[in-house]
Amino acid sequence: MARKAEIKIQNVPSDVISAVKFAPKTNHFILVSSWDTSVRLYDVANNTLRHKFFHTSPVLDCAFLDSVKTVSGGLDNTVKLYDWNTHIEQDLGTHNAAVRCVEYASMVNGVLTGSWDRTVKVWDAREKECVGTYDQSAGKVYGISCVEERLVVATSDRKVLIWDLRHMGNYVERRESSLKYQTRTVRCFPNKVGYVMSSIEGRVALEYFDPDPEVQKKKFAFKCHRSKENNVELVYPVNAISFHNGYNTFATGGSDGYVNIWDGFEKKRLCQFHQYESSISSLCFNDDGSALAIACSYMDEAEQPPEPYPVPTLYVRYVSEQEVRPKKC
């Protein structure tokens, strides 16, 4: 029997899905955090909810440390570790404001958390302690992404700080965002050449790390997730970005309910999926790029919410080579 191109996951959270993450080196498990205060683990192969635990407030992000251990953070200011084998939950520590972003950094074998208290913290998950607090004076942390030694931090004041995880005494570079409006998310290219960030104003920017002027000439920003009704352009926030590890192409998800796949180096859109029921709140390719997790949640964008009020949904789409592979390959 042929596998369906897309499956709808059952027993999803009752409120906005803030993040969806595939487990490393597997296509079977996804981690989901939500404004309903839950963190959930799903078995995709069997379309079942394996287990869930709760924070005391909405959860804004989550990440895998390995195939069974995860970390999460949210509006309770607390960073939580959870072992899905033993169901042991531990508080790793706290920030002075909401924990907006959580990542695992294999380069330092540590947990990175970015907060609205304008700091990034590095945690030793084995020793259960914070090993460094780093001021992001450029504003509240809205997004973080790391690839090997590089850490990119996007802040509320449209600033981007680039750090070297091996030498965290000071940031390597401070940049102004190429986007004129508030940052929604930032993700690093798997091939380490740069990063992509998005804004509330239907734009995406591609940036390069190399400071060489000739390389910097290649950076660009483009419009996306827009439509026209009665000759009026409607502009939607771009809430989510996820990279295909093999091809360095990337998916964007917007509040228009669409997912687009892009070849950033060739400045081309490779495909667009069908429109989903509500805003795309989070995206995540699995390790081998064969599947894309798509979280849909109404995010209060409209002055008047639609009727009936959209409920969160979660899909796993099995993508084809034609949808994600650069045309020149």
**Which tokens go with 289?**
């790029």
Q: Could you report the per-residue pLDDT of 99-129, keeping only the tens digit for each?
A: 999 999 999 999 999 999 999 999 998 888 9
* pLDDT above 70 as % of the chain: 99
Do 9 and 40 contact (CB within 8 A), yes or no?
no
Which helix (H) or strand (E) segment holds residue 215: the answer is helix 213-216
DSSP 167: B
pLDDT at 25: 86
DSSP 260: E
Q: Could you report the per-residue pLDDT of 241-274, keeping only the tens digit for each?
A: 999 999 999 999 999 999 999 999 999 999 999 9
Q: What is the side-by-side strand order in the sheet with 194-199?
A: 183-188, 194-199, 203-208, 220-223
The pair phi, psi for residue 228, each rounded to 5°, is -125, 135
What mean pLDDT comes out for the span 132-146?
93
pLDDT at 1: 41
- Cα-atom radius of gyration of the chain, to the nearest Å? 19
Q: Tell the burial category of 88 from Cβ atoms under 10 Å away from its Cβ (0-12, 13-18, 19+).
A: exposed
pLDDT at residue 138 above 80? Answer: no
How far apart CA 298 and CA 48 sit, in angstroms, is: 23
pLDDT at residue 313 above 90? Answer: yes
pLDDT at residue 210 above 70? Answer: yes
pLDDT at 328: 75
Q: Could you report the per-residue pLDDT of 62-108, keeping only the tens digit for each?
A: 999 999 999 999 999 999 999 999 999 999 999 999 999 999 999 99
**Which tokens go with 255?**
């509040």
pLDDT at 329: 54
How far apart CA 269 and CA 254 sit, in angstroms, is: 14
pLDDT at residue 17 above 80? Answer: yes
DSSP 309: P
- Look over the chain and give the mean of its residue pLDDT values, rounded to a whole number: 95
Integer angstrom CA distances of residue 129 from 42, 86, 208, 230:
29, 21, 33, 56
pLDDT at 309: 87
pLDDT at 105: 96
DSSP 194: E
Print burial letters for 266-305: b (CB count within 10 Å at least 16), e (below 16).
eeeebeebeebebbbbbbbbbeebbbbbbbbbbbeeeeee
Superfamily of domain 6-323: YVTN repeat-like/Quinoprotein amine dehydrogenase (2.130.10.10)
pLDDT at residue 2 above 60? Answer: no
